[in-house]
Amino acid sequence: MQDPDINTQLRQLYGAIEAANSEGLTDIALERCERALKLLAENGEDAEEYTMGDFLLMAGHANWSAGNLEEAQRNYRQSLELEPDNIDAALAVGVTLFHLARFEAARAQLEVVSVEDPEYAEAWYYLALLALRRDDRELADNFFQRANEIEPDRWSMPVALSSEEIASILESFLDEMPTELRDALVNVPVILEERPSESMLYSNDPPLDPLLLGYFEGTPLPEHSVFAADVAPARIMIFGENLSLIAADREKLQEELWITLKHEIGHYFGLDEDELAARGLA
């Protein structure tokens, strides 16, 4: 006999999970997802409004927000296996694969989404990012254009600045730094590249985010010692193409470039992410 309260309970849990996710309360969101999944396992045939796939998708969103991309990927795949026609789950799998630097698998998944529902702007945007990684800029521009036409407020066209123009902006920032700061960075080259290489991404476990804006590599200054002869050389890398993806115009790109440069210099001086965030540089 159908329990009239099952759908009410699931509806309340779903709303509570949405609220917890919006506030970054991952543990609470995941605990409520577990409760919902257990309720569905016990009374699944009586539930009409929500499915296990719905709550696995929400669990994936919670893990994504917490930076647990492998767990998010697992949740999204489970949701898709239960509901193969769920385009939201298929898209989430493809996007997560991209951020885990599994590019060929991401491309295959997102191409399926783009065929199943050509109005999913996010699928076209990520296909454009994948085309950029293959240096197919014409195809990337076509895909960026499709995403922008579908959702112009969310997916803007990247800033059309050459590497030379971005390098010029970066050099001007370095020239304008106080003398004592420039002196402290004299042995720390600032290198401009388009995007992180695959070898750099895979040097970390889990992989670094392909949309990384900047990266400090080496030994932070506070860890240097006159007694240590094996201090790893330091360098700062700035990824111009990735910066152009988040900037709507040249002025915004300059702003993001300046913030990224200060962020990586902060790492060189030994500041962690929380300290950088406290200074508005995260």
What's the total number of domains in the chain? 2
Same domain, 240 and 135: no
Instruction: Specify the higher pLDDT residue, 222 or 164.
Output: 164
- Burial of 153-167, coded b for 16+ CB within 10 Å and e otherwise, reads eebbebbebeeeebe
Q: What is the pLDDT of residues 16-56, one digit of tens each?
A: 999 999 998 999 999 999 999 999 998 866 667 889 999 99
Residue 157 lies in a domain: no
pLDDT digits (tens, 9 = 90+) for 177-220: 888 888 888 888 999 999 999 999 999 888 999 999 999 988 88
Domain assignment present for 155: no
214 and 98, same domain (yes or no): no
Is the same domain home to 146 and 171?
A: no
Contacts of 270 (CB under 8 A, 6+ apart): 220, 221, 222, 223
Are both 106 and 143 inside the same structural domain? yes
- Phi and psi at 18, nearest 5°, equal -60, -45
Average pLDDT rounded to a whole number, residues 239-250? 91
**Residue 216, SS3 per DSSP:** strand
Residue 223 lies in domain: 163-278
Q: Looking at residue 1, what is its pLDDT?
A: 39
Q: Are 230 and 178 part of one and the same domain?
A: yes
175 shares a domain with 145: no
Question: Can you give the CATH number for the domain in which 124 is found?
Answer: 1.25.40.10
Q: Which of 150, 176, 192 is the last residue of a domain?
A: 150
Percent of the chain clearing pLDDT 70 (strictly above): 90
CA 267/CA 82 separation, integer angstroms: 43
Q: Clarify whether residues 144 and 196 are in a common domain.
A: no
Q: Find the mean pLDDT for residues 236-242.
A: 95
The pLDDT value given to residue 266 = 86
We report the CATH number of the domain holding residue 260 as: 3.30.2010.20
Do 259 and 222 fall into the same domain?
yes
Give the end of a domain, one of 93, 116, 150: 150
Q: Are residues 122 and 182 in the same domain?
A: no
- Has this prediction a pTM greater than 0.75? yes
Same-domain pairing of 168 and 145: no
Longest dimension (CA), the chain: 78
- Which pLDDT band holds residue 2 (cuts at 50, 70, 90)? very low
Same domain? 78 vs 25: yes
